[in-house]
Amino acid sequence: MRRAIIPLPKPPFPNPTMSASLMWFRKGLRIHDNPALQHASTGSSFVYPVFVIDPHYMKPDPDAFSPGSKLAGLNRIRFMLESLVDLDSSLKKLGSKLLVLNGEPGEVLIRCLKEWDVKSLCFEYDTDPYYQALDARVKDYASSAGIEVFSPVSHTLFNPGAIIQKNGGKPPLTYQSFLKLAGEPSWASSPLSTSMSSLPPVGDVGNFACEISEVPTIKELGFGEVELDEWTPFRGGESEALKRLRESISDKKWVANFEKPKGDPSAFVKPATTVLSPYLKFGCLSSRYFYQCLQEVYKDVQKHTSPPVSLAGQLLWRDFFYTVAFGTPNFDRMKENKICKQIPWNDDDELLAAWREARTGYPWIDAIMVQLRKWGWMHHLARHCVACFLTRGDLFVHWEKGRDVFERLLIDSDWAINNGNWMWLSCSSFFYQYNRIYSPISFGKKYDPNGNYIRHFLPVLKDMPKEYIYEPWTAPKSVQTKAKCIIGRDYPKPVVSHDSASKECKRKLGEAYALSQKLNGRVTEEDLANLRQKLEQDKAQEPKNKRQKR
């Protein structure tokens, strides 16, 4: 990564009364409603606004299944860099500047605290396990060095720890119980600080000057001259977030009538939702400010939808998942996760790859996966369809495998919400009606009978008549020839028969649920292995003509 020495204005000659604060940005890439930044700038002579490029998330990985690092695809990395450029621009307008450093964040931060004689360290509280461990280490050093630490909760509407404490030390496991415990946010009727007139100047960076860079480009991060065939149409940054928010809430009728899970998952020219989730993920938009804006709209209309289906309800779902994730050990895996059903998922890498690479032979599923790869985003109902298809609907592949693909490719990938939704959609936790399956054929057809969404993201099928576009394998050979798309050559045959595969998935889940009930949820790895063996034996004993075809 190229290093550029940043010219910084020389601070006034230091005196004993001058103090310096360090504002450590991670999420919370914004100026509005940023109590950590507000605190850092109050009473300080200098403020060091720091962002650390963390190799854990950003180191290029040539072996990953898509361009990017080990954990993040290029769409999300690019979105984050755009957010940093926007943040730097906002800081400059306030008389400051973003200082970008590179390395293991704990080591970098501790060195900054030592060399810059910082008296106060400020950063937004983060519940993710990775940051919990990192923050504990940095706080320990700061405490031993007599440095004040200010780490407010401002990424969520509520403090997840306080909700858990209120519930006797356990997270509430249903949305309704969460709402009852949470009540109204304490800050809801108080004005939030949505702007700043200025910031104290950046202090003397000393020997760090040669290591501080401008916000790097994709190429400077070591990803080379990577050109995706289509970048995400959504640009990062607080400015874009606030613009999108204004556009969303300007249509008061739409806000008042918003009702999830309704909405058109096939709408892509103008998505049928706010697309504010990436901005909330990176903290370019304050969820608290969004919540207050919604409350203002609700006051101005005669009636509106309510949680769980309203827009405000979606913000509360976000907090619900954050709270459960924070209070549940091993939330991101099936094993040793007390709230997760133990299910003998298939370990089929070929089926996983077919799903990930949009080769399932089901155009609705494959088009969604192409949109995910190209845009890093798709409608929530589209996410439901492909997650169900991979897990309990058709392929019976482990939800953790799908979670990893979403974690990499989504620009709004959020640790708590991603894991929570995958457990929900695989019927591993929260939701247990495994007989309700999204059809990979009829569900999309309901919204888009002509198949325009499929034609856009799967151009190989653009000339397929609408009668066959959701099931192209049923088209006569003459129709396939005229459409210039021979199934099995130009576009794959289905990897499974949906009817038989879904029945098999239901049977397996029924057996897994029954075992869990019998053992009172205490299912061991040995129990799972025995169940897997039983399921395979049962299948082997079925008449050959009833076996699931692949």
CATH code assigned at 71: 3.40.50.620
Same domain, 296 and 397: no
Residues 145 and 167 placed together within one structural domain of the fold: no
402 and 314 in a common domain = no
The reply, when asked if residue 316 is annotated as ligand binding, is yes
173 is in an annotated binding site: no
158 a known binding residue?
no
| Cα separations in angstroms, 422 against 126, 245, 402 | 21, 27, 8
**Full residue range of the structural domain in which residue 457 is found:** 349-543
Q: Do 74 and 160 reside in the same domain of the chain?
A: no
535, part of any domain? yes
The distance of Cα 515 from the centroid of its chain, to the nearest Å, equals 32
- Does a structural domain hold residue 401? yes
Identify whether 429 is part of a domain: yes
- Contacts of residue 43, defined as CB under 8 A and 6 or more positions apart, other chains included, come to 19
**Is residue 363 located within the same domain as residue 465?**
yes
Per-residue DSSP letters for 13-24? PP-TT--EEEEE
Q: Which residue has the tokens 């692949």?
A: 550
Q: Within this chain, do residues 164 and 145 fall inside the same structural domain, yes or no?
A: no
Whether 396 and 516 share a structural domain: yes
CATH number for position 379: 1.10.579.10
Whether residue 126 is contained in a domain is answered as: yes
Contact 503, 394 (CB under 8 A): no
Indicate if 177 and 140 belong to the same structural domain: no
Q: Are 498 and 440 in contact (CB under 8 A)?
A: yes
* 273 assigned to a ligand binding site: yes
Annotated binding-site residue? 523: no
Residue 20's alpha-carbon distances to 11, 33, 122, 282, in angstroms, are 11, 21, 11, 26
- Which one of 327, 359, 376 terminates a domain? 327
For residues 398 and 455, state if they share a domain.
yes
Residue 320 among known ligand-binding residues? yes
User: Do residues 49 and 147 share a domain?
Assistant: yes
Please check whether residues 51 and 131 belong to one and the same domain.
yes
Question: 505-537: per-residue pLDDT in tens?
Answer: 999 999 999 999 999 999 999 999 999 999 988
How far apart CA 41 and CA 38 sit, in angstroms, is 5
In a domain, 213, yes or no: no
Structural domain count of the chain: 3
Does 451 map to a domain?
Answer: yes
For residue 414, say whether it is annotated as part of any ligand binding site: yes
Per-residue pLDDT of the chain (550 residues; tens, 9 = 90+): 444 444 444 444 444 457 999 999 999 999 999 999 999 999 999 999 999 999 999 999 999 999 999 999 999 999 999 999 999 999 999 999 999 999 999 999 999 999 999 999 999 999 999 999 999 999 999 999 999 999 999 999 999 999 999 999 999 999 999 999 999 999 998 899 999 999 999 999 988 777 899 999 999 999 977 766 678 899 999 999 999 999 999 999 999 999 988 899 999 999 999 999 999 999 999 999 999 999 999 999 999 999 999 999 999 999 999 999 999 999 999 999 999 999 999 999 999 999 999 999 999 999 999 999 999 999 999 999 999 999 999 999 999 999 999 999 999 999 999 999 999 999 999 999 999 999 999 999 999 999 999 999 999 999 999 999 999 999 999 999 999 999 999 999 999 999 999 999 999 999 999 999 999 999 999 999 999 999 988 888 776 545 444 4
Pick the closest to residue 284 from 324, 243, 223 (CA basis). Answer: 243
Strand 46-53 vs strand 148-150: parallel, antiparallel, or unpaired?
A: unpaired
Domain CATH for 265: 1.25.40.80
Q: Are residues 66 and 127 in the same domain?
A: yes
Torsion (CA) 386, 391, 396, 400 in degrees, nearest 10: 120
178 labeled binding residue: no
**Residue 216: inside a domain, yes or no?**
no
> What DSSP line would sit under 112-140, residue for residue?
HHHHTT-SEEE-----SHHHHHHHHHHHH
CA atoms of 393 and 437, how far apart (whole Å): 6
The sign of the torsion formed by the CA atoms of 516, 439, 409, 354 equals positive
Q: Is 274 annotated as a binding residue?
A: yes
- The torsion region of residue 358 among left (phi > 0), alpha (psi -120 to 50) and beta comes to left
To the question of whether residue 314 is assigned a binding role by annotation, the answer is: yes
Summarised one tens digit per residue, pLDDT across range 488-509 is 999 999 999 999 999 999 999 9
275 is in an annotated binding site: yes
Query: Is 372 annotated as contributing to ligand binding?
Result: no
Q: Look at the chain and count its residues.
A: 550
Confirm or deny that 276 is annotated as ligand binding. yes
DSSP E strands, 38-117: 46-53, 99-102
User: Alpha-carbon distance 17 to 366, whole Å?
Assistant: 63
Cβ(209)–Cβ(115) below 8 Å: no
Evaluate whether residue 450 is within a structural domain.
yes
With H, G, I as helix, E, B as strand and everything else as coil, classify residue 60. strand
